[in-house]
Amino acid sequence: MSRLQQTHGLSDEQREIVATVRAFVDKEILPAAADLERADEYPQAIVDRMRELGLFGLMIGTGHGGLGESLLTYALVVEELSRGWMSVSGIVNTHFIVAWMITHHGTPEQRDHYLPRMATGEVRGAFSMSEPGCGSDVSAIRTRAVRDGDQYVIDGQKMWLTNGASANLVATLVKTDPAAGHQGMTTFLVDKEPGFGEVAPGLTVPGKISKMGYKGVDTTELVFAGHRVPAAQVLGGAEGRGFYQMMDGVEVGRVNVAARGCGVARRAYELGLDYARRRETFGRPIAEHQAVLFRLAEMATKVEAAHQMMVMAARRKDSGERNDLEAGMAKYLASEYCKEVVEDSFRIHGGYGYSTEYEIERLYREAPMLLIGEGTADIQKMIIGRRLLAE
Ligand SMILES: Cc1cc2nc3c(=O)[nH]c(=O)nc-3n(C[C@H](O)[C@H](O)[C@H](O)COP(=O)(O)OP(=O)(O)OC[C@H]3O[C@@H](n4cnc5c(N)ncnc54)[C@H](O)[C@@H]3O)c2cc1C
């Protein structure tokens, strides 16, 4: 292993988990990713192995059957998975966010009901805020839940659900009191069957959204038409807290998007370095032309800087401190650097970088997703700027 992306101060257990995942990525993800991505095929065998490794329960408490690991361990695992194939990290990421929300905001009954089966990967989580008409402006959502006895009736359309088909539990943000702004929003734990079509009465997953990259993992819409949910499925048991619960979920999710950026950038750097050593022009390896060497130096510096910032943001959350500023900075920096490192590696590959035979072509289509997901770069800058002013 090179000296890039080293993390100091890890426990023996953390080091062992990360090394196990790295070996799994090298042996089982990297060799399979190209074919699965080309076929846009769900990586079922990889997911089954991740269940065996306990990755779906990595951060779920030991009392509920998980490994009880820290956000830092989880982020380092995500970094390794993304080095192999970003889509695989997407499969665990929404699950992780929903498990986090249930752990920190659920009622004792909701925790006991869901977390043990989430730890094994039997229950798999997706989360849903975005709608066709809004993503950044969460308060503009229009999906509505109306109380009817001990049930709620939900109507509306959701958009961009990562794992929308493969999940059987969707943490869904809706409006219960449209006049009350942020306080009028509620998160429901919506159970459904995996798959497409009518997955519960009055609840439809129409189909898979076709994407430029981030393939294999399903991204879907979700249509509510008079779907009934028991009142006991309100996350935390009381209306009006949904916006804050979701924001807490995406805040830890941002550290993971940063970790994904670190993993993809690391892989792009490795590919660029390897190619630059082997490809010769004008009688010597291109790595010996200063323009290419400087490019590699810039790439490695960005890979290292993004990793250290991501680690700092994760550690801050683990220490119990507020980390919205650091998570926003880490997500912003890592996703921008990732895009730049991938582009530099693409340039190093010359014409071959444009061929679908070369892995960098896949990374080139995956990196832009990180600029958008879990809040765009502009939204991160708003969060960072407001927090700075508040201080
Ligand atoms: C592959 C994929 C998977 C996704 N998975 C999920 C998921 O699992 N669950 C989920 O809920 N959502 C998911 N999303 C949705 C994602 O979170 C949104 O796309 C994202 O938040 C941006 O929202 P938008 O697309 O509506 O863009 P808009 O909010 O319409 O923004 C458009 C542009 O305007 C800019 N902009 C908007 N407001 C401002 C402002 N105030 N100041 C400055 N600039 C601004 C934005 O930065 C952007 O450049 C996913 C998206 C993708 C592409």
User: Nearest C-alpha to atom 24 of ligand 1 is from which residue?
Assistant: 135
**Separation of CA 376 and ligand 1 centre (Å):** 6
According to the model, what pLDDT value does residue 1 have? 56
On whether both 189 and 115 belong to a single domain, the answer is no
**Separation of CA 62 and ligand 1 centre (Å):** 35
CATH of the domain at 154: 2.40.110.10
According to the model, what pLDDT value does residue 259 have? 98
210, 240, 270 — which closes off a domain? Answer: 240
Q: Which amino acid is at 75?
A: A
User: Does a structural domain hold residue 225?
Assistant: yes
User: Nearest C-alpha to atom 25 of ligand 1 is from which residue?
Assistant: 135
**Separation of CA 378 and ligand 1 centre (Å):** 10
Q: How far lies 343's CA from each of 259, 269, 330, 352, in Å?
A: 18, 10, 20, 13
Which residue segment(s) compose the domain that 380 sits in? Answer: 244-390
User: Does a structural domain hold residue 214?
Assistant: yes
Q: How many domains does the chain have?
A: 3
User: Does a structural domain hold residue 206?
Assistant: yes
Q: What does pLDDT average to in each consecutive run of 10 residues of the chain (391 residues)?
A: 88 97 98 96 97 96 97 98 97 96 98 98 98 96 98 98 98 97 97 98 97 97 98 98 95 94 98 98 98 98 98 95 92 98 98 97 97 92 94 85
Mutate which of 139, 160, 250 for ligand 1 pocket (most atoms within 8 A of beta carbon) = 160
On whether both 105 and 142 belong to a single domain, the answer is no
Residues touching ligand 1 (Cβ under 6 Å) are 94, 127-130, 134-137, 160-162, 211, 214, 219, 369, 372-373, 375-376, 378-379
According to the model, what pLDDT value does residue 199 have? 98
d(CA 258, CA 388): 20
Q: Of 306, 341, 344, 342, which Cα lies nearest the Cα of 326?
A: 306
User: Does a structural domain hold residue 252?
Assistant: yes
Helices and strands: H and E segment counts in the chain: 12, 10
Is 254 in contact with 330 (CB distance < 8 Å)? yes
Q: Which amino acid is at 45?
A: A
Q: Residue 9: left (phi > 0), alpha (psi -120 to 50), or beta?
A: left
Residue 285 CA neighbour count, 13 Å, CB half? 10
Write down the pTM of the prediction.
0.96
176, 211, 240 — which closes off a domain? Answer: 240
Name the residues annotated as catalytic: 374
Mutate which of 372, 382, 383 for ligand 1 pocket (most atoms within 8 A of beta carbon) = 372
Is 259 in contact with 78 (CB distance < 8 Å)? yes
d(CA 243, CA 223): 20
User: Does a structural domain hold residue 112?
Assistant: yes
